[in-house]
Amino acid sequence: MDELIKTFHIDWKLLIAQAINFTIVIVVLGFFALKPLVKIMKEREERIAKGIKDAEASEEKMAEIAKEREAEVKKGRKEAQQIVAKAEQTGEELTRQRTEKAQAEVEKVIRDARQQIGAEREMMVRDVKDELGGLIALALGKITGSGLDEKKHKKLIDAAIEDLKKADLKQ
């Protein structure tokens, strides 16, 4: 071993001094650098763990909120469908009411038109009777050549009108 020490020129005193210096450096680094580093790493590890825990809690809260939102959306859709159904029903009711009103107005117009036609027909028949009576009286006056008294004249006109009515009713 002596030969080895001489070959490599190792000095024991220097080797022991270097070992002591190395130990002092390790102790100083451990106290001033390693302890704060370990402390910082533990704090960071705790923050990361807390962040993960918070993220999981947030995920659970988000899932709960999503479920609540979905329930609200379903509720909103149901309400919207009810509103649409009610609006359709109201629309159908209004359409039915308007149709009934229009039909009643049409029936009234038809009834009024029939009454007006009846009144005009009666007026026309009266006018025709008057004119026909005058023509019949004129024709009788010319045929008979003599004048008829007022009563006979009226009887002949009324009889002619009745005959015309009967003939008109048969057709």
Range of the domain at 50: 2-170
The one-digit pLDDT tens for each residue of the chain (171 residues) are 677 777 777 777 888 999 999 999 999 998 888 888 999 999 999 999 999 999 999 999 999 999 999 999 999 999 999 999 999 999 999 999 999 999 999 999 999 999 999 999 888 888 877 777 777 767 766 676 555 567 777 777 777 777 777 776 544
CA nearest neighbour of 139 among 124, 167, 123, 160: 160
**Number of separate domains in the chain:** 1
Per-residue buried b or exposed e for 126-158, using 16+ beta carbons within 10 Å of the residue's own CB: eeebeeebeebbeebeeeeeeeeeeeebeebbe
User: How confident is the model at residue 8, as a pLDDT?
Assistant: 76
User: How confident is the model at residue 9, as a pLDDT?
Assistant: 76
Residue with tokens 């859709």: 77
The tokens describing 73, both together, are: 């959306």
Q: What is the 3-state secondary structure (H, E, C) of 96-163?
A: HHHHHHHHHHHHHHHHHHHHHHHHHHHHHHHHHHHHHHHHHHHHHHHHHCCCCCHHHHHHHHHHHHHH
User: How confident is the model at residue 171, as a pLDDT?
Assistant: 47
User: How confident is the model at residue 125, as a pLDDT?
Assistant: 80
Spatial contact of 160 and 136, defined as CB atoms under 8 Å apart: yes
